[in-house]
Structure 1
Amino acid sequence: MTAQVAVDAAQAGERLDRATVLLWPGIGLRGRRRLIEAGGVLVDGRTRGAAYRVRAGEILAAVPVDRPEAHFAAPHVPLLFRGAAYAAVSKPAGLHSAAIAHGGGESLEALLPELFPESPALLLSRLDRLTSGIVSVAFGETAAARYRALEDAGAVEKTYHCVVHGVVAAPFVVDFKLDTADRAKTRVRFRTQPDTLRHTFVSPLSREGSLSLVACRIAKGARHQIRAHLAAAGHPLVGDPLYGRGEEGGLFLHCAGLACPVLDVTDAPPWTVAEAAAAAGANAKSAE
């Protein structure tokens, strides 16, 4: 990791999260954003946001990120299934899936050696930090490659439960294209994505006033797919700070099922529709 670097004319005008590749060449864009949010870089001695446009001559300096006292440990991650080649765990909301070097928050990936001390484990899926539920794991590259092939063949079905604004009375499909490149918020293109593995299939489960509990089925999925697709369809998720109203109480999105030839796992949400309704109601009162 480079301790500091000067912005030259070629980088002038770039977003800070892109320019910091000079400091952290081995970390992806999302990881750099997390480090910036955690205060891991200074621009001429000042903290700046990820969208800040750097200027020629400014000094970008990497600084140590204080790691808070751990909030998550192996006992906080229930084991749902353990086989010879695969396993599945239930990730709690608030825990990152993948580890980020040099700081950026706790992660499920960092807990894998403690969860599976007898076998090197690889993440097969990732959930947003705010999303809870099933994360699949493979023991070895051969098992991981088989799972990826099943995903590509459309043989993996993931079911999420979420609470959305509005009344969902009948099943529907959201097939909009999504642009996830180089941005924190996925952009919906409002034109049909021909690849059905990227579609979101929505079915109503129950209602609580003006809120609906729905099941969303996806195959491979893209970053923020369900959150962006449901918001674009007029049904933002309760508690979504990016695509919805950001109610307190957390994001009401949970991976509740994963079915494929090598895994068949279910995991009930840790919340109720009534709790989502209470969060939405409190948000509406505070906005008055």
Structure 2
Amino acid sequence: MSAALPSDDETRHALTVADDESGMRLDKYLTDALARKFEAEENAEGPPSRARVKQLIEEGRVEIEGTRPRPLTDASYRVKAGERLTLTLPPPAPARPEGQAIPLDVVYEDADLIVVMKPAGLVVHPAPGNPDMTLVNALIAHCGETLSGIGGERRPGIVHRLDKETSGLMVVAKTDRAHRGLAEQFAAHGRDGKLTRAYKALVWGVPSPKRGTVDANIARSSHNRMKMAALKPRARRNEDEGDDNTAGRRAITHYEVEQEFADGLVSLVECRLETGRTHQIRVHMTHIGHPVLGDPTYGTGMKTRASKLSDEARTALARLDRQALHAWHLGFEHPVTGEHLSFDAPLPEDIAELVGELEEV
């Protein structure tokens, strides 16, 4: 493989292998060395990840100097003390999804990240069936050149998602450095004290006890592959996975009843996640017998209960036309400055209208 020729927009990083670095894999050495170099230069974009470095090696963008310079294209090559290496870092490639002028409710934004209020009905990421008109398309158009590249591509760094019909707060990275820092916090799910997330949901009935924890593995439903299901407890090898595919993945939701309506027919519940599984709150609330109002996937079979609501409340529920679930609180440590940021978003108009009608019952 021939070396990739540098262009005017590319940057070259010259590095010399120290004695104590001899024997390291090429991709590991470059990742660590670039991290130190970027930190010393206070480069706001942050260094490339190890996966990105490996990709650059395979593209022939790493060269070993000498009387006959040659590209190194094997990431497992063991570097030797005194070797002088040059890595050519290309500018971020244009994002594959195109930017689209979709209105965004921006709560906070700086050079590293952006916090937005995602409305119900907006898909987060392009996928089959939703190839465009997503939050990612909107962010590409909004952020433009301030996106410095995630994994070598000029795109927003998605570190968590909300279901299409769930509204609420989301944080998105604009740089590789911010993406890595935020991803680490979301992987820890608040166990390191940095991340806090809370949701509000209207559910059928009143959970008992009114404050508790649902600890039930979640996996694909054996009856409907489009749905998730909570499973009975089984022996686990570790915190995250069961002992086989049928055991699902560990899922923990903490909940607390905040308000009751219509003589206990409906309640407003706050949920905090200790894990982040697909449809977790919706599945767990259904699992304990209190599905989320308006949930078309897990909340069916509630027509008898709905018939007991007032005409006004039933009309408001019909207008809602989605699950009554809202990500109202988001707190995290800024991945670059270290500052703790905290944001709250009131209930959106459609859920607030339903709450108002329920309070009248």
SS class of match (1:265): strand
Equivalent position amino acid for 1:202 in 2? Y
Q: For 1:244 and 1:264, how far apart are their aligned partners in 2?
A: 31
Residue 179, structure 1, aligned to residue 219, structure 2: yes
Question: Please, what TM-score do these two structures have when normalized by structure 1?
Answer: 0.64
Question: 4+ residue runs of structure 1 moved beyond 3 angstroms?
Answer: 101-105, 192-198, 271-274, 276-279
Contact persistence 2:101–2:142 (CA under 8 A): no
Residue 231, structure 1, aligned to residue 271, structure 2: no
Q: Once the two structures are superposed, what CA deviation does each residue of 1:207-264 show, in whole Å capped at 9, x if it has no partner?
A: 2211111110014411000000000011100000111038632211011111122242
The 5-angstrom pairing of residues 1-288 of structure 1 reads 73-75=101-103, 77-100=104-127, 103-104=130-131, 106-120=133-147, 121-153=156-188, 154=191, 155-168=194-207, 170-180=210-220, 183-191=225-233, 195=239, 198-209=251-262, 210-245=265-300, 248=318, 249=320, 250-262=322-334, 263-270=341-348, 271-272=350-351, 275=354
Q: For 1:113 and 1:142, how far apart are their aligned partners in 2?
A: 18
How far the C-alpha of 1:99 sits from its partner, in A, is 1.1
Gapped runs of 5+ residues in structure 2?
A: 1-99, 148-155, 241-249, 303-316, 335-340
Q: Once the two structures are superposed, what CA deviation does each residue of 1:143-197 show, in whole Å capped at 9, x if it has no partner?
A: 1111111223333221011100002462110110001489311121121787498
Contact persistence 2:102–2:138 (CA under 8 A): yes
Relative to structure 1, is the Cα distance of residues 102 and 203 closer, same or farther in structure 2, using a 3 angstrom cutoff? Answer: closer
Q: For 1:102 and 1:232, how far apart are their aligned partners in 2?
A: 29
Q: For 1:177 and 1:231, how far apart are their aligned partners in 2?
A: 13
Relative to structure 1, is the Cα distance of residues 136 and 165 closer, same or farther in structure 2, using a 3 angstrom cutoff? Answer: same
Q: Once the two structures are superposed, what CA deviation does each residue of 1:88-113 show, in whole Å capped at 9, x if it has no partner?
A: 10111011011126755631111111
Name whichever of 95-104 and 224-233 sits farther off.
Answer: 95-104
Relative to structure 1, is the Cα distance of residues 103 and 272 closer, same or farther in structure 2, using a 3 angstrom cutoff? Answer: closer
Equivalent position amino acid for 2:227 in 1? K
Equivalent position amino acid for 2:168 in 1? G
SS class of match (2:138): helix
Contact persistence 2:159–2:186 (CA under 8 A): no
Contact persistence 2:123–2:130 (CA under 8 A): no
- How well do the aligned residues superpose, as a CA RMSD in angstroms? 2.7
Gapped runs of 5+ residues in structure 1?
A: 1-71, 280-288
SS class of match (2:168): strand
Q: For 1:266 and 1:217, how far apart are their aligned partners in 2?
A: 14
Equivalent position amino acid for 2:124 in 1? S
Larger radius of gyration: 2
Aligned to 2:70: none
Contact persistence 1:188–1:232 (CA under 8 A): yes
Contact persistence 1:252–1:276 (CA under 8 A): no
Aligned-pair identity (%) = 27
Aligned to 1:58: none
Equivalent position amino acid for 1:234 in 2? G
SS class of match (2:231): strand
Contact persistence 1:151–1:220 (CA under 8 A): no
Q: How many residues align?
A: 207
Q: For 2:136 and 2:289, how far apart are their aligned partners in 1?
A: 34
